[in-house]
Chains A and B, each alone.
Chain A
Amino acid sequence: MNRIFAFVLSLAILLTPTMGLAQSVPEVMPIAESVEVTESEVKTLPYNFESVYRVPIKLSITEKITTKGQTLTEGQTIQFRVVKDTYCKRKTFLKKDTIVNAKIETVISAGMNGFPAEIIVGDFEIPGARPTQLVDTYVKKGQNRCYVVYPIKWALTIIPFVGSLTNLIMGGNAKIKPSDEVVIYYYPDWK
């Protein structure tokens, strides 16, 4: 009987990955401590997106901007004009022709292979609205020429190196003109 116990014991010692246990256990505590999301934290979230009521604000830029010639800088302030009177809960919220400041967030220059340039505008300063109540990222792209570039590239691959020449085709520049309608959304019931 003792031999059987001795056999089982030695087998268990051989098969048990105790080293793995020794390595993994101490790692648990420090990480678990840094993750605590308490109930009180959940209750005091700084946002509440429950309401679906929103007011579209239609704007147009006061002066044309373009990515051509590298005249734009990220963080630059640009101005928009409110296109028409905007109402929120049956009250006038914004009068027509009110000037609204916004910022150029990111400028993506046009690239090879027909990649279009892009202007991302955000941080609209709407009088009477908090930034947290706006969904206000506006993106304007240039002409996307990849629809032309890729078919030509693939068609020309039968002639060595010629297909690569299409790499030189640049994408279109992005511009925002006064005739472009920019729509951002105001959620009055959001925190």
Chain B
Amino acid sequence: MKRLVLFVVLSLFAAPVFADEAQLVKENSIQSRIDHVGVNLLNHNRLTKRIIFTYDKKEKKKALATDKALTKRQVIIYDGLYQHVQTDDELAAMLAREIATAMKSYDGTFGGWIDSAQVALGSKKFETVSDKRAVDYLVNAGYNPLAVIVFINKTCPQKRHDKFSRHNLTSKRLARVYEYITYKYPQYLENNEYINNEYYQNFLLTSVENRKKLAEKIRTKSTKDVKYE
């Protein structure tokens, strides 16, 4: 009886150790997956600058924290965002946006300091640039660029307006990415693997007006920027 009690006590004391190990295994597997997809993107795009990827258990970035993609060329993936990722395409979409930002920090004078400051201050403009570059990176690495649309549609909320904001309206970002894919990579829309994806269908549903504007631009062969809503 005493032995049995002793065994139970010991196994209960050992339980937290196993719990920690399970947590470590989980984090390690997430980090490995992020590294695998991230380095795949870097290599397939033949990006000759160093960028690393780090998984962070925190829900999201602190409000006043600096963007480490710009300061350290370190892409931080927060758990809150990672939880939205289902496929490797979507993970690649998330990483490719950050890679585009980190690559920008290598340009320009003072070791890229000035350009980094510009990206941070003019984040609205570079948000669109990052989205577009992400599409290119995905295509070059063999991922489906429509995942960028799906990922943004799932993760970015829709604000009321963006006149005085440092970020674009999500609907505008999605419309611009869709336009970019329409012009540069129409084959992905013709043989659309995402046509049965519910998140992509939700984007199609919520972007009818913007897509009508794009159709008009294509019909008139205009090169002017479309004013999306």
Contacts and interface: CB of A to CB of B under 8 A. Distances in A.
Give the interface centre of B19, B122, B125 by most chain A CB atoms within 10 Å.
Answer: B19
Interface in B44-96: 44, 46, 48
B183 interface: yes
A32 B202 CA distance: 30
Interface in A94-140: 103, 105-106, 108-109, 111-113, 115, 122, 132, 134-135, 139
Nearest to B140: A131
Interface residues of B, number: 42
A139 B107 contact: yes
A25 interface: yes
B136 A70 contact: no
Contacts of A73: 183, 223
A160 interface: no
A16 interface: yes
Contacts of A135: 46, 48
Contact of A24 (B22, B29, B129, B184): B22
B13 A111 contact: no
B121 interface: yes
Interface string B1-13: 0100110110011
Contacts of B48: 135
B173 interface: no
A96 B101 CA distance: 37
Contact of A12 (B12, B46, B125): B12
B136 A106 contact: yes
A122 B184 CA distance: 12
B159 interface: no
A37 B46 CA distance: 21
B26 A75 contact: no
A24 B29 CA distance: 14
Nearest to A30: B29
Nearest to A106: B132
A128 B191 CA distance: 30
A72 B33 contact: no
B84 to A, nearest CB: 14
Contacts of A106: 129, 132-133, 136
Given A70-B223, A108-B129, A115-B125, 19 more contacts: A9-B5, A9-B9, A20-B16, A21-B19, A21-B22, A24-B26, A28-B29, A31-B33, A32-B29, A35-B36, A46-B44, A73-B183, A74-B184, A105-B136, A106-B132, A111-B122, A111-B125, A113-B122, A132-B46
